[in-house]
Amino acid sequence: MKLHQLSLFLENRPGTLQQPCDALAAAGINLLALTLADTAEFGILRLVVKDWNLAKSVLEDAGFLVTVTEVVALEVAHEPRGLTRVLDVLNQSKQTIEYMYAFGGGLNIESAVLVFRFENIDQAIAALAAKGIIAIAPAELFDRLNA
């Protein structure tokens, strides 16, 4: 149910995004989702890849500081209220979202995949499951993405 996401520390200056992407490209690793949280001084690059262990060691060998965070991937209908149905459940059960972002490329035209980091991941998964919203298991996700 939980997806392993890699987070990298990057300085906010020209060129810093290039280096980790080059390192992953050279190792033949495809990025399935990414987002960049930035401040004036630095940024945190968050990545989802299929083989996160390999990607982590590739990035660390390239000198980057990498942490692994557990996140949740949810499939929502690609239509108005697709997201708010999920947010309603989370609000009602008082789950805090630390951040979220959308997956690059849809599975199909009918649905979109969103990645959430929750303050309490287990409680959030349970609250969603109780309302019939099931987090996508990594294997299924990668399978359906043909990753």
Residue ranges in contact with other proteins by CB under 8 A = 7, 9-11, 16, 37, 39, 41-42, 44, 46, 63-65, 67, 69, 98, 117
From the CB of 38, what's the least distance to other proteins, in Å? 8
For other proteins, which is the closer residue by CB, 26 or 37? 37
Strand partners, 36: 45
**Whole-number Å distance between alpha carbons of 58 and 54:** 6
Which CB sits closer to other proteins, 7 or 123? 7
Instruction: Tokens 């287990």: give the residue.
Output: 122
Nearest Cα residue to 66 out of 47, 50, 83: 47
Kindly state the smallest distance separating residue 137's Cβ from other proteins, in Å: 22
Report the Cα 15 to chain-centroid distance in Å. Answer: 23
Q: Which is nearer to other proteins, 78 or 99 (CB)?
A: 99
* C-beta of 100 vs 107, nearer to other proteins: 100
CB 104 within 8 A of CB 34: yes
In the complex, the smallest distance separating the C-beta of residue 69 from other proteins, rounded to whole angstroms, is 5
CA quadruple 62, 53, 122, 100: dihedral sign: positive
Shortest Å distance, C-beta 139 to other proteins = 23
